[in-house]
């Protein structure tokens, strides 16, 4: 119990006693005090007051509750500042419960920390915990289903800008990522940007035409080859996306592709090493790899 001042201690004790006495007197009057007046009260034409008294087992039920309340207040803290015969306090009970919860919690965490990725992925408890970590720290950007939204990537497909190995995913979560797509609108010009966008689109849709895109191919080698590679499959070291698949972060229509080429892009993944523990990052990595 809280250490109440004398006034509030008296007020609490007084209310408890008055409440118990009032309930006891009320029960006794209902069941044992005779009504001597001769007036018959009739409700709704045929309902006579007092013709069907409350069942007597109610009396024993209420009496038992009163006795239980009194005994409870004798043994447990519930009567002002009185701690009961067991001398228990809320602070003591809270401390014991918290210590017990912490002991079980940290034992469970230590167990999870010793598991490898595959074992974590096969653990229902681990994946449930990882899902909660994702919801609290990642869903705002990548969506509650992890399928991405706006300019934030889909985390449920097989397209990983910075690599899909556990170590690479851990690094992305821990230290964040900064992707830089340079702006090539100046060197390419309006017409060159449009042709390059059409060429990139044709690579993704597997409709590449050597004659139609000959000039764009030459410019690709000048401006794009260093990051996206000869096979157009990107570079996980630089976070350069694969241009040969049909996965698009900023849109797959010609206008969106033109904007990306002309103005560049700046993708930022914030670091979480100061927000999440090593175990939380490990759990999140296992969850992402499973999804």
Q: Is the pLDDT of residue 50 over 90?
A: no
Q: Tell me whether domains 113-176+271-290 and 179-269 share a fold.
A: yes
- By DSSP bridging, strand 177-181 and strand 42-43 are unpaired
Give the C-alpha separation, 27 to 62, whole Å.
Answer: 8
Give the lowest-confidence range in 45-59, 179-193, 213-227.
45-59
> Higher-confidence residue: 91 or 21?
21
Which CATH number applies to 179-269: 3.40.640.10, 3.40.720.10, 1.10.8.60, 1.10.760.10? 1.10.760.10
pLDDT tens digits for range 126-185: 999 999 999 999 999 999 999 998 889 999 998 999 999 999 999 999 999 999 999 999
Q: Which fold has domain 113-176+271-290?
A: Cytochrome Bc1 Complex; Chain D, domain 2 (1.10.760)
Whole-Å CA distances, 260 to 169, 263, 265: 25, 6, 6
Over pLDDT 70: what percentage of the chain?
A: 94
* Domain assignments of the chain as residue spans, ordered by start: 6-90, 113-176+271-290, 179-269
Q: What is the pLDDT of residue 55?
A: 83
Please compute, for residue 86, the number of CA atoms within 13 A of its CA located in the half-sphere on the CB side.
Answer: 14
Tell me how crowded residue 223 is: count the other CB atoms within 10 A of its CB. 17
Q: What is the pLDDT of residue 230?
A: 92
């Amino acid at each position: 119990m809280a250490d109440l001042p004398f006034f509030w201690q008296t007020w609490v004790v007084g209310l408890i006693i008055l409440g118990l006495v009032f309930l006891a007197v009320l029960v006794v009057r209902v069941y044992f005090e005779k009504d001597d007046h001769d007036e018959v009260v009739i409700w709704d034409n045929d309902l006579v007051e007092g013709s069907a008294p409350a069942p007597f087992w109610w009396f024993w039920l209420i009496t038992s509750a009163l006795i239980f309340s009194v005994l409870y207040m004798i043994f447990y803290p519930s009567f002002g500042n009185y701690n009961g015969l067991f001398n228990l306090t809320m602070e003591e009970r809270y401390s014991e419960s918290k210590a017990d919860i912490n002991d079980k919690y940290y034992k469970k965490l230590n167990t999870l920390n010793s598991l490898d990725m595959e074992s974590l992925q096969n653990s229902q408890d681990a994946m449930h915990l990882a899902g909660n970590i994702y919801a609290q720290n990642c869903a705002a950007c990548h969506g509650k289903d992890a399928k991405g939204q706006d300019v934030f990537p889909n985390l449920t497909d097989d397209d990983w800008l910075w690599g899909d190995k556990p170590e690479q995913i851990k690094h992305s979560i821990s230290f964040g990522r900064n992707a830089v797509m340079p702006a090539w609108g100046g060197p390419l010009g309006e017409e060159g940007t449009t042709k390059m966008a059409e060429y990139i689109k044709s690579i993704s849709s597997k409709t590449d035409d050597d004659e139609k895109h000959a000039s764009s191919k030459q410019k690709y080698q000048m401006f794009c080859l260093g990051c996206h590679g000869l096979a157009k499959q990107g570079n996980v070291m630089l976070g350069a996306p694969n241009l040969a698949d049909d996965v698009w972060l900023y849109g797959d229509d010609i206008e969106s592709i033109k904007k990306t080429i002309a103005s560049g892009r700046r993708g930022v993944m914030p670091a979480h090493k100061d927000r999440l523990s090593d175990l939380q990052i490990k759990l999140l990595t296992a969850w992402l790899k499973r999804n």
